Structure 1
Amino acid sequence: MRPLERHRDAGAYALGVLDAADTFRFDDHLMDCPTCRALLEELGPAARQLAAYDRLTPPHVEPLAVPGPGLIDRLLTESGRLHRARRRRWLCAVAASVVLAVAAPATAGLRADGPGPEQITARDGRTGVSATLTARGRDWGTDIGLRVRDPHGGARVCELIAVAADGSEQTVTTWKVPVGESAGGSSGDLSTRGGAALAREDIARYEVRTTDGQHLLTLRRP
């Protein structure tokens, strides 16, 4: 699929209407596309509102509005408008910071955004397991995405552990690749997400282990 078409999948991904194969491909695309990551941030509130409406609507009540084919396009259009407006405000902030820097060199410049996501890639030659991890700091801790390749596939249940600088540990997520997928040619590829109640800068490393304690891979923060 062409990159432009993949960008358009962001709305469907946010609403959870992609099938399993397209969701996997979009997870893979998301690792390397800051545009789509920003777009998902913008679509998040709308997707949560739709999900809340669905949960609160009794089954016997006919919904007031059913998402139609144009919903995703309208969400993308509105998201683009908001993104352009934010970009104009950001450019104004940059211009103001330049003026301040010229007029008063000791004055701190304005910052439009916080730090971007941190990405770590590693492979263990002994176990054959490789992974790419993306970590983004949140108010509540760290939001973590993981793309992992395990040649053993469905032969074992695995978990991702966040290890803090003080040695404490938190389980981020667990998974098991279905045996059928591994045998069908996916080579044990899997994408998953989770979170840790630790600030990103407090995490020293991440470890992939089996649930019975076998160490498979270490991903160290730079």
Structure 2
Amino acid sequence: MTQEQHFDVAAYALGVLDERDAARFEDHLIDCPACAIELESLLPVVDILSDVDADALVASEQSRRDGVVLKKMLGEVKQERRRANSRRLYSLAAAVVVFAMLSIGALFAGGQWLAPDQGPQPPAQRSSKQLDPLPLAQGGSGIGGTPLAGETYTSTDNRSGVSASVGFEPKDWGTQVSFAVSNIKGPLTCRLVAVRTDGNSEVLSTWTVGEKGWGTAAQPEPLLLQAVTALPRADIAHIQVQSIDPKGTTETLVRVP
């Protein structure tokens, strides 16, 4: 008795075994109650199958397969339509954004075009809380007529030949110091020092001077800079422009006033 013979029950019931295999299964069936019981349970099914129209079954199976294909195809079409609708939606949204931007730009331009000509506006009042821009035409004249803000002083050192103009502008937070330096040759490292009325000093700014210098034949324009300090104007005795060598030794180039 082999395992294959146990698997032949359905085939035997349906009559698909050849004569040799059918005879072998019948010999096995005599000694195998399990296969006999299984064969008995399959006989009603065999009777039902004998009444089935084979051609109709094949046609039904073909229709079922075609229905699956049709359903899959419809699903693909549905997804494609969704993707197409999404693309149309995105395109429509982009068009709306562009149209809105163009409309806002047109309104802004129209506002500019339709706004009445108010003529030249008066200059804004200078605030004591902000730095004044450089140069300032409203202040006193410094070196070569260079405009500086506030109380302006100019000095030239006879030894170094360096000239400097300084403008002091009192602010709520201290003093704005605008200064112009001329006839100074480099290379140099310089600094601006505020000397207080009590004799102490404070470095306000540092900078370098190139080989062309400032206020020279090679560089006619004066150097125009700006610094700030918390010191009130009344506490500043004078300003010094100093040079610093690599060893840290300083030399006063000009004092203002």
- Would the TM-score normalized by the shorter structure come out above 0.5? no
TM-score of the two chains, using structure 2 as the length reference = 0.39
RCO comparison, higher one (Cα < 8 Å, 6+): 1
- After TM superposition, the score normalised by the length of structure 1 is 0.45
